[in-house]
Amino acid sequence: MPTLRTPPSGQPPRPRGPAAPGSRPSGLTWYLLAGLLVLAAGQAWFMKPPGRAVTYSEFKRYLRADQVAEVIVGPESLQGTLKQAEAGTTAFTTARIEDPKLVDELDARCVKYTGEVTNRWLTDALGWVFPVLLLVGFWSFFLKRMSGGPEGGVMSFARSKAKLFAEDDVTISFADVAGVDEAEQELREIVEFLRTPGKYTSLGGKIPKGVLLVGPPGTGKTLLARAVAGEAKVPFFSLSGSEFVEMFVGVGAARVRDLFTQAEAKAPCIIFIDELDALGRTRVQNPMGSHEEREQTLNQLLAEMDGFDARKAIIIMAATNRPEVLDPALLRPGRFDRQVLVDKPDIKGREAVLRIHTRGVVLAPEVDIAVVAARTAGFAGADLANLVNEAALLAARGNKTAVDQRDFDEAADRLIAGLEKKRVMSPREREIVAYHEAGHALVATLVPSLDPVHKISIVQRGFGALGYTMQLPLEDRYLLQRGDLINQLAVLLGGRTAEELALGDISTGAQNDLQRATDMARSMVTEWGMSDAVGAISYSDRRQSPFLEAGPGSDRGPYAEETARLIDGEVKRLMTQAHEQARVLLMTHRDALERVTRRLLVIEVMEGAELRALLAESVPPSHA
């Protein structure tokens, strides 16, 4: 499916922190620099040797000439005064040299001498305090830098990434969600809890703790959770399960702890954990221990859910499209004990969703949203949002002033069968495809009680889809009867049968049809008990997600070799029957097949009405 949508709104722009990398040095650095200068100046002033610097030999000369009046002997230098001023001063300084006889000499010349009572604190201080200060300074400066920004930098990875959506930030309400009425109904109750928690707790009732939204991808689970926060006007903490499971061991658990601490301070509020399955998969005994981090996080989550005060109005919501992989501990009472199914919308729901998403779109007056809704069976809310966007883009590309029905049709075609491909088919290939699709379409029209054909196309789309026949269900179906399924088998085989009849050969284009037909026939036999020979027994051992497509490969259930042979025989019988049914129908309407194919080769895309007209013209007398 093409994804030309803009990213979903709702993530508020992240403000940059004041000390984000790249900004100017913080005040601390300036203080440090100033301090450094003052200290250096002080040292220079205090340490400046008073008086003229002389060499030690010079000093000795003065001493021997009896010119020295006084000497202060320091550990490293000698300071003294001369009896007569020389070079304008009597003071002098000289570096001290190891000279054991100095004292004797001083005594002999009757020079006043004394040891230096040094006040060296400043030097000492400068010696070690300063580097320490410098270190501390840089340390705190970098700490600040690294943890700068609301995202939390390197140093704050343990802190929760939960962003607090302030009350007015959540502007989503139930009016923005459609087609999931049952879920909405259940969640309205939660909104009520959050709005007036006292009303329920005063009677001794406990507010539900956890609500799990379960449903296929794109059905609006995230949207619903935000709508609950918007309706209840409470803060909304949202985190994705995968965000918990990253980086280092222990970080996830710390995040969970932090999230709950933050939330408790803000009650009433909602904590929303999206994609819970990333975090809450069944814990397994793993010899490699590679899932320890996730399990630790999950355990912490369970502990927090049990631990927090039930009287505080905190609702923990979570969403998943794979409920079957969740750890059973998550679903126990007191945890996510409420489960809300968010399913794909039915035809009315699709219409409502389309109306929501076309609110800001300029529509041509002839656009019929109900028709678009009818064409898009199986679309989830997100697909419908995508469809509207795609149609708007198409209209813009065509420089139209409004989005018209054709744009919607084309957008739907694209979403259903993949983008139009540029590669051209050879005339021979086109003919094969035309016969093939005409075969599908005719069988679909000729068998009773099936969805009427909406459109046939031999315009190549995406990989693998060389053409398609689209049937438009008159209503959403939740149950299919055996007769319907057998007819559907015939329709699936109709393409291949038409190739056989008209061209005397078959192509690889029918491979997908065959696979689908075989899968369906096998399910009829092994899952739905629709084969009399096998009986009403389910031999299926498939445990699959109810929402995701079944993976490839058919896993056979635990049954005997003999049963396997019986099943294979029944599948084969169903397929042969369907093939025969398609063959008879197409033989009877051989001329219609020809007409439809010729017409298709000209116009490439045929509407259902034209197909039925062509068929009506050529009903042979034998049919009556």
C-alpha closest to that of 227 among 183, 264, 257, 197: 183
The one segment of 66-74, 456-464, 476-484, 506-514 that binds Zn ion by CB under 5 A: 506-514
Active site residue 295: no
User: For residues 387 and 571, which CB has a smaller minimum distance to ligand ADP in the complex?
Assistant: 387
CA distance 373 to 265: 45
Binding ligand ADP by CB under 6 A: which of 153, 197, 220, 323? 220
Could you tell me how far CA 259 lies from the centroid of its own chain?
19
Tell me the residue nearest to ligand ADP as measured from the CB: 381
CB of 536 to ligand ADP, least distance (A): 36
The one segment of 237-245, 381-389, 401-409, 583-591 that binds ligand ADP by CB under 6 A: 381-389
DSSP 129: I
User: For residues 352 and 434, which CB has a smaller minimum distance to ligand ADP in the complex?
Assistant: 352
CB of 223 to ligand ADP, least distance (A): 4
CA distance 322 to 330: 13
CB of 440 to ligand ADP, least distance (A): 31
Q: Among the options 243, 437, 499, 570, which is catalytic?
A: 437
Tell me the residue nearest to Mg ion as measured from the CB: 222
User: For residues 11 and 55, which CB has a smaller minimum distance to ligand ADP in the complex?
Assistant: 11
C-alpha closest to that of 439 among 456, 454, 452: 456
* Sequence-ordered alpha helix ranges (H) in 447-541: 482-503, 511-526
From residue 338 to residue 377, what is the string marking binding to ligand ADP with x (rule CB under 6 A)?
---------------x--x---------------------
Contact 91, 78 (CB under 8 A): no
User: For residues 217 and 483, which CB has a smaller minimum distance to ligand ADP in the complex?
Assistant: 217
Residues 481-500 that bind Zn ion (CB under 5 A): 495
19 binds, among ligand ADP, Mg ion, Zn ion, none (CB under 5 to 8 A by kind): none
CB of 611 to Zn ion, least distance (A): 16
C-alpha closest to that of 476 among 374, 353, 387, 371: 374
C-alpha closest to that of 432 among 387, 466, 456, 399: 466
Tell me phi and psi for residue 328, to 5 degrees.
Answer: -55, -30
The one segment of 211-219, 429-437, 468-476, 496-504 that binds ligand ADP by CB under 6 A: 211-219
CB of 319 to Mg ion, least distance (A): 6
Binding ligand ADP by CB under 6 A: which of 194, 259, 316, 319? 319
User: For residues 220 and 252, which CB has a smaller minimum distance to ligand ADP in the complex?
Assistant: 220
415 binds, among ligand ADP, Zn ion, Mg ion, none (CB under 5 to 8 A by kind): none
493 binds, among Zn ion, ligand ADP, Mg ion, none (CB under 5 to 8 A by kind): none
The one segment of 71-79, 127-135, 214-222, 613-621 that binds ligand ADP by CB under 6 A: 214-222
CB of 604 to ligand ADP, least distance (A): 32
| b/e sequence 341-351, b meaning 16+ C-beta within 10 Å | ebbbbbbebbb
The one segment of 220-228, 400-408, 426-434, 588-596 that binds ligand ADP by CB under 6 A: 220-228
CB of 383 to ligand ADP, least distance (A): 8
Q: Is 513 among the residues that bind Zn ion (CB under 5 A)?
A: yes
Q: Is 391 among the residues that bind ligand ADP (CB under 6 A)?
A: no
Contact 120, 15 (CB under 8 A): no
End-to-end CA distance of the chain: 44
# binding residues, Zn ion (CB under 5 A): 2
Residues 3-22 that bind ligand ADP (CB under 6 A): 8
CB count within 10 Å of CB 385 equals 21
SS3 state at 113: strand
CA distance 280 to 213: 14
User: For residues 411 and 502, which CB has a smaller minimum distance to Zn ion in the complex?
Assistant: 502
CB of 545 to Mg ion, least distance (A): 16
Q: Is 178 among the residues that bind ligand ADP (CB under 6 A)?
A: yes
SS3 state at 6: coil
DSSP strands (E only) in 28-155: 52-53, 68-73, 77-86, 89-95, 112-115
CB of 411 to Mg ion, least distance (A): 23
# binding residues, ligand ADP (CB under 6 A): 19
Q: Is 218 among the residues that bind ligand ADP (CB under 6 A)?
A: yes
Angle (deg, nearest 10), helices 511-526 and 482-503 = 150
Binding ligand ADP by CB under 6 A: which of 252, 381, 494, 608? 381
CA distance 447 to 399: 43
- What is the helix (H) or strand (E) element at residue 179, kind and residue range? none
User: For residues 8 and 464, which CB has a smaller minimum distance to ligand ADP in the complex?
Assistant: 8
Binding ligand ADP by CB under 6 A: which of 82, 314, 369, 382? 382
- Sheet with 314-320, strands from edge to edge, namely 163-165, 236-240, 269-274, 314-320, 210-214, 338-341
- Sheet with 112-115, strands from edge to edge, namely 52-53, 89-95, 77-86, 68-73, 112-115
CB of 436 to Zn ion, least distance (A): 5
422 vs 425, 426, 459, CA distance in Å? 10, 13, 10
The one segment of 177-185, 257-265, 495-503, 604-612 that binds ligand ADP by CB under 6 A: 177-185
CA distance 206 to 78: 86
Contact 586, 443 (CB under 8 A): yes
User: For residues 215 and 268, which CB has a smaller minimum distance to ligand ADP in the complex?
Assistant: 215
* Amino acid at site 319: A
CB count within 10 Å of CB 92 equals 23
User: For residues 218 and 280, which CB has a smaller minimum distance to ligand ADP in the complex?
Assistant: 218
User: For residues 413 and 513, which CB has a smaller minimum distance to Zn ion in the complex?
Assistant: 513
CB of 393 to ligand ADP, least distance (A): 16
User: For residues 179 and 268, which CB has a smaller minimum distance to ligand ADP in the complex?
Assistant: 179
602 vs 218, 424, 568, 599, CA distance in Å? 38, 15, 42, 5
Active site residues: 437
Question: Interface with ligand ADP by CB under 6 A: which residues?
Answer: 8, 177-180, 215, 217-223, 319, 353, 356, 381-382, 385
